[in-house]
Amino acid sequence: METVRNRNPPRVKYTAPQKAEPVSNFTEKEKKTITELKQLYLETINLDVALQRDIYNIEKKYEDKHNIIFDKRKKILEEFRKQNHGDVETTQSVPNFWLRVLKASYTEFISKRDEKILECLSDIRSRLYNEPVVKFDIEFHFDPNDYFTNKVLTKTYFLNCLPDPDDPLVYDGAEIYKCEGCVIDWKQSKDQTKTENQEPSFFEFFSPPLLPEDTLDPNYCGVNAMLQNDFEVGFYLKERVIPKAVIFFTGEISDCQSTSGSETESDDTEDESEAEEEDGVDK
């Protein structure tokens, strides 16, 4: 059975409502002790920050080694396509390897109109940067095609690994605070992004919305929810889909990026367990 990678994703930056006032009915001696304890907690936060930086440095160190393996994977797929060019049975899926991988990992993002374009997808890679800011790219490499001139479509996610200087004690690990897409140079008005009365398109992924600066803006919550999902998808691609592509392709892993489904399934399982327990009591 495929094991789950034991790593927590960066949190999504979120401007929370004003915090409740802390309990203040402590004695002076208690307040002094609490201050000392908070200072120790701040020291653990500083250690966590240093640890996170070391983790990213190690990950960057091993990125080149991973890419050597991914280059071999790409070469195997290219050789299969060349050897079977013009003689590929309709039942064969390897020529559309990455399309099948994406459909297995988050199907709700891919429309029928997108599939023809994604048949030209030759590789997906991630690239980590530690300086001057921490960020990572998700790169979608395409063969020459009739749809756009871009060889690579890129999505970039920016991470903040430092505590808020105004309130360092609320630090809870690295957070993704923004993302940037890229311009798709479509050929002859073959733009596949969503227009009026059209279903959503996978290629909207490269045009993320901008989060309003004002948290009272009526669009803030909706955009924030969209970006939260976007950030989760980016990290999911980087940590699971890219390295585990072959078992997504074969169907040996099926943890589709759709939290609603898993939550519903979990709730159903809990309800069934509770029902069974009640039946046992009745008997």
What pLDDT was estimated at residue 224?
84
Q: Residue 272 — very low, low, confident or very high, per pLDDT cuts 50/70/90?
A: very low
For the stretch 190-211, what's the b/e string if a residue is b when 16 or more beta carbons lie within 10 angstroms of its beta carbon?
Answer: eebeeeeeeeebbbbbbebeeb
What pLDDT was estimated at residue 254?
66
Phi/psi of residue 124, nearest 5 degrees = -130, 130
What pLDDT was estimated at residue 267?
44
% of the chain beyond a pLDDT of 90 = 41
Contact 206/237 with Cβ under 8 angstroms?
A: no
| Residue 217: C-alpha distances to residues 11, 15, 136, 223, 227 (Å) | 22, 13, 29, 10, 15
pLDDT at 270 over 60: no
Is 0.85 topped by the overall pTM?
A: no
Q: Could you read off the pLDDT of 240-262 as tens digits, one per residue? A: 999 999 999 999 986 655 444 44
Residues 6+ apart with CB under 8 A from 16: none
Higher-confidence position of 167 and 151? 151
Average pLDDT on 208-216 reads: 84
Q: Could you read off the pLDDT of 13-50 as tens digits, one per residue? A: 544 445 555 666 888 899 899 999 999 999 999 998 89
Higher-confidence position of 277 and 47? 47
Long-range CB contacts for residues 53-62, cutoff 8 Å, separation at least 24: 53/130, 53/161, 56/128, 56/130, 56/134, 56/161, 57/130, 59/128, 60/128, 60/130
Higher-confidence position of 106 and 77? 77
pLDDT at 275 over 80: no
How many Å apart are CA 68 and CA 70, to the nearest integer? 5
Phi/psi of residue 185, nearest 5 degrees = -90, 85
Mean pLDDT of the chain: 80
How many Å apart are CA 174 and CA 54, to the nearest integer? 13
Higher-confidence position of 51 and 9? 51
Domains annotated on the chain, with CATH: 28-84+92-188+199-250 (3.30.1120.90)
Q: Quick one: tokens of 151?
A: 């060889």
Query: Which amino acid is present at 159?
Result: L
Q: Could you read off the pLDDT of 88-144 as tens digits, one per residue? A: 454 456 789 999 999 998 756 788 889 999 999 999 999 999 888 889 999 999 999
